[in-house]
């Protein structure tokens, strides 16, 4: 099909290709999989719909899936996260992609819908945050009269997804149910999407197996942590150019993303405070040297506020009313409901530049809001660096192969990749950074009860 894509500007493809070539040198895991599986094409016959930030790193993932034999169609999972030159390079290479940085919510769901439009429909989903999975499962439930949720949208997001579901139902009756029946499995990238999957299992609503990529150790303990350590401050700097050293920053949540975010700000010289609800994470934050506080106690003195919780209503309107003039407010969690942005809509907004707004509060104090509360490392900067995304995406490719080749052996439940594959992903990234691994001798291996070649830890080990 001619021009089976929607990108901002296809002439950006050359620039995209140059950055892709560079990214490949930093993504040894993906390149090793191309070498290992290139001849056997284990994904031949797979038709993968991808819903994941359309960045340069994702472009290397897409080209790896295609190299391994898959047909792929792609949309971004966030309205601000696309890198237009990456999307252009993928489109120019012949893979249909529907993604523009700054697309509307309506376009978000329309583009996702378009990414499902293989002539025979897809048979696998690669998801980030769960929107592609939600689209099919919610649509099928509506189609079969199993929910009337669609009649009472409670947010702009829901209005947009429900409108798109209605449109597709009108154009292609029975389509969602057909898709629900033919999808063989989903691999899910992030914490928030994984929560949704476990909820679906609890409700008896997951109709195919799912692989939780997020909880591979080589994903969440690296991307969520070391990725945010690099990309959080990158986003704040590109958005504001503010001096970080000496400022007081509050990080809400001290899970993997919070740990990386606090380290990012501390590394830049900010004085970091943390809020937590979980006593274990609160204790970790304290013992890492951060003061653990209540937001209410620091809201009128801190300079920078970052949510990392994957929870909703963490920064509320009453907090924002107390903040000092020119406080910076942003979120690095998956969805924009961590900050009550909707409650700011009737205030005066001045757009400073793309994804940076100044909002005047009733007191006259102004707030700088990043990416309208959407994940700022991808909205205001270019997300995590390639090297750490290589570890995440190597897990993704292994998960897609597993679902395609052995999906029938799995129940409709959520699975984590086995530890030997997790260790393999790590192993593939050692040489690039000059890591020399020691080798257990047989006596030592027997003494600690492992095989000399791994796995080196029991399942319950927490890293």
CA distance 239 to 433: 30
Give the side-chain half-sphere CA count within 13 A for 327: 26
Closer to ligand NAI by Cβ: residue 436 or 462: 462
Among 333, 373, 379, 407, binds ligand NAI (CB under 6 A): 333
Q: Does 224 bind ligand NAI (CB under 6 A)?
A: yes
Q: Does 386 bind ligand NAI (CB under 6 A)?
A: no
Among 257, 262, 344, 367, binds ligand NAI (CB under 6 A): 257
CA 131 vs CA 52, 84, 208, 330, 392: distances in Å: 9, 21, 16, 22, 19
Q: Does 311 bind ligand NAI (CB under 6 A)?
A: yes
Q: Does 330 bind ligand NAI (CB under 6 A)?
A: no
Q: Does 371 bind ligand NAI (CB under 6 A)?
A: no
- Is 53 catalytic? The answer is yes
CA distance 329 to 98: 30
Which parts of 267-306 interact with ligand NAI (CB under 6 A)?
A: 275-278, 281
- Is 131 catalytic? The answer is no
**Contacts with ligand NAI: how many residues (CB under 6 A)?**
31
CA distance 243 to 325: 16
Rounded to a whole number of angstroms, the minimum distance from the CB of residue 76 to ligand NAI is: 13
Q: Which residues on neighbouring strands pair with residue 189, listed in sequence order?
A: none
Residue 372 assigned to a binding site: no
Catalytic residue (one of 319, 334, 424, 429): 334
- Is 219 catalytic? The answer is yes
CA distance 184 to 209: 7
Closer to ligand NAI by Cβ: residue 105 or 293: 293
- Is 396 catalytic? The answer is yes
Q: Order of strands, edge to edge, in the sheet holding 185-188?
A: 97-98, 71-75, 47-51, 124-127, 185-188, 210-212, 414-415
Q: Of 96-104, 163-171, 188-196, 315-323, which segment contacts ligand NAI by CB under 6 A?
A: 188-196
Rounded to a whole number of angstroms, the minimum distance from the CB of residue 118 to ligand NAI is: 27
Among 116, 254, 290, 387, binds ligand NAI (CB under 6 A): 254
Among 28, 50, 130, 310, binds ligand NAI (CB under 6 A): 310
Residue 55 assigned to a binding site: yes
- Per DSSP, 12 falls in state G
Q: Which residues on neighbouring strands pair with residue 94, listed in sequence order?
A: none
- Is 123 catalytic? The answer is no
| Ramachandran angles phi, psi of 122, nearest 5° | -80, 165
Three-state secondary structure call for residue 131: helix
- Is 128 catalytic? The answer is yes
Three-state secondary structure call for residue 142: helix
Q: Of 41-49, 61-69, 186-194, 437-445, which segment contacts ligand NAI by CB under 6 A?
A: 186-194
CA 161 vs CA 97, 343, 379, 403: distances in Å: 19, 21, 21, 27
Instruction: Count other Cβ atoms within 10 Å, centred on residue 440.
Output: 16
- Is 281 catalytic? The answer is no
Catalytic residue (one of 76, 264, 340, 390): 76
DSSP 143-175: HTTS--GGGS--SHHHHHHHHHHHHHHHHSTTH
Rounded to a whole number of angstroms, the minimum distance from the CB of residue 6 to ligand NAI is: 24
Closer to ligand NAI by Cβ: residue 29 or 130: 130
Three-state secondary structure call for residue 214: coil
Rounded to a whole number of angstroms, the minimum distance from the CB of residue 332 to ligand NAI is: 4
Q: Does 255 bind ligand NAI (CB under 6 A)?
A: yes
Q: Does 334 bind ligand NAI (CB under 6 A)?
A: yes
Among 57, 164, 220, 240, binds ligand NAI (CB under 6 A): 220
Find the length of the chain.
463
DSSP 240-288: H----TT-EEEEE--SHHHHHHHHHHHHTT-EEEEE-SSHHHHHHHHHT
Q: Most distant CA pair in the chain: distance in Å?
A: 71
Residue 255 assigned to a binding site: yes
- Is 51 catalytic? The answer is no
Give the residue numbers marked as catalytic.
Answer: 53, 76, 81, 128, 189, 214, 219, 223-224, 228, 334, 384, 392, 396
Which residues of this chain interact with ligand NAI, rule CB under 6 A? Answer: 190-192, 220, 223-224, 227-228, 252-258, 275-278, 281, 308-311, 314, 332-334, 375, 377, 384
């Amino acid at each position: 099909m001619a021009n089976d894509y929607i990108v901002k500007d296809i002439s950006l493809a050359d620039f995209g290709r140059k950055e892709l070539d560079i990214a490949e040198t930093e993504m040894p895991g993906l390149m090793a999989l191309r070498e290992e599986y290139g001849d056997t094409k284990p994904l031949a016959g797979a038709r993968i719909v991808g819903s994941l930030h359309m960045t340069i790193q994702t472009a290397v993932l897409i080209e790896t899936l295609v190299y391994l034999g898959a047909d792929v169609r792609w949309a971004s999972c966030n309205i601000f996260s696309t890198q237009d030159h990456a999307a252009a390079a993928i489109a120019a290479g012949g893979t249909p992609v529907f993604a523009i940085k700054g697309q509307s919510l309506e376009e978000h769901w329309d583009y996702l819908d378009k990414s499902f439009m293989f002539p025979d429909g897809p048979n696998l989903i690669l998801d980030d945050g769960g929107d592609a999975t939600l689209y099919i499962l919610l649509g099928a439930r509506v189609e079969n009269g199993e929910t009337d949720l669609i009649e009472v949208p409670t947010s702009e997001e829901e209005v947009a997804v429900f409108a798109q579901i209605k449109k597709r139902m009108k154009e292609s009756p029975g389509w969602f149910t057909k898709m629900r029946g033919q999808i063989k499995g989903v691999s899910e990238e992030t914490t928030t999407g994984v929560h949704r999957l476990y909820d679906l299992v609890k409700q008896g609503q997951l109709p195919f197996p799912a692989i939780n990529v997020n909880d591979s150790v080589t994903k969440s303990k690296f991307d969520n942590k070391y990725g945010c350590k690099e990309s959080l401050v990158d986003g704040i700097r590109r958005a504001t150019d503010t001096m970080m050293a000496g400022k007081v920053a509050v990080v809400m949540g001290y899970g993997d993303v919070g740990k990386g975010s606090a380290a990012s700000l501390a590394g830049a010289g900010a004085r970091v405070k943390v809020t937590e609800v979980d006593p274990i994470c609160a204790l970790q934050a304290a013992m890492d040297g951060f003061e653990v506080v209540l937001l209410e106690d620091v809201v009128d003195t801190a300079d920078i506020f970052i949510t990392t919780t994957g929870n909703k209503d963490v920064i509320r309107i009453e907090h924002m009313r107390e903040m000092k003039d020119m406080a910076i407010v942003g979120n690095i969690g998956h969805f924009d409901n961590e900050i009550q942005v909707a409650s700011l809509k009737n205030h005066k907004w001045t757009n400073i530049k793309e994804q940076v707004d100044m909002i005047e509060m009733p007191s006259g104090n102004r707030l700088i809001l990043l990416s309208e509360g959407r994940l700022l490392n991808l909205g205001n900067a270019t997300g995590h660096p390639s090297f750490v995304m290589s570890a995440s995406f190597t897990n993704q490719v292994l998960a897609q192969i597993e679902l395609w080749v052995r999906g029938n052996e799995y129940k409709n439940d959520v699975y984590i990749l086995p530890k030997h594959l997790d260790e393999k992903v790590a192993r593939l990234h050692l040489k690039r950074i000059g890591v020399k691994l020691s080798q257990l001798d047989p006596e030592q291996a027997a003494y600690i009860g492992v095989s000399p070649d791994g796995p080196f830890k029991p399942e319950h080990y927490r890293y």
